[in-house]
Amino acid sequence: MRLFIALKIPPAVRENLATLLATLRAITKEPRWVRAENLHVTLKFLGEVGEDKLQAVRSALGKIRSEQVVSLEFRGLGFFPNEKNPRVFWAGVEASTNLKALAADIEGAMEKLRFPREKREFSPHLTLARFESSRLPEALRKAITENAPREFGSLRTGEFYLIQSKLRPSGAEYVTLTTFPFAPAIK
């Protein structure tokens, strides 16, 4: 099964981004747009994981703790690697410093189970679209520039999720397998 570890985003943020995505999708169908219901902040992509390893993954993730919840502000738009050669179109995430520590703890726990370490530094974001070619249509560039300063909402959470990605002809379908509380409950 294809697995990843992520933070879920709140409904208000999802709705704000769904509105933006509908506007941009109307301009061009060219990039592969992410469905709003699939938006999340990836903490670690595991890839294909056998049933025999699933319990070890759950056990390792269940031990991860933080003294504080993480706080995230969703704002701004951009591209990886850059606007001139876009591969990924994203919404920005400004996070409390402990999010990077949480991602590092997850990375370390998964590395002990022989999952490869990420080559790139952790950079929280919401993937909105993926480009097959590096061509960015001018009308889309203009709309993104106009919407770049937008704020989409915030999140405070003390839990992350192990999620299965089922690839379907209509796109990926996500199923939450396990919820992991990592910080004291939000008051």
- DSSP 8-state class, residue 12: H
Residues with active-site annotation: 40, 125
Nearest alpha carbon to residue 48 among 40, 39, 57: 57
What is the per-residue DSSP string for 103-166?
Answer: HHHHHHHHHHTTPPPPSSPP--EEEEEE-SSS---HHHHHHHHHHTT-EEEEEEESEEEEEEEE
Contacts of 72 (CB under 8 A, 6+ apart): 7, 41, 93, 94, 95, 96, 99, 124, 154, 155, 156, 157
By DSSP bridging, strand 2-8 and strand 40-48 are antiparallel
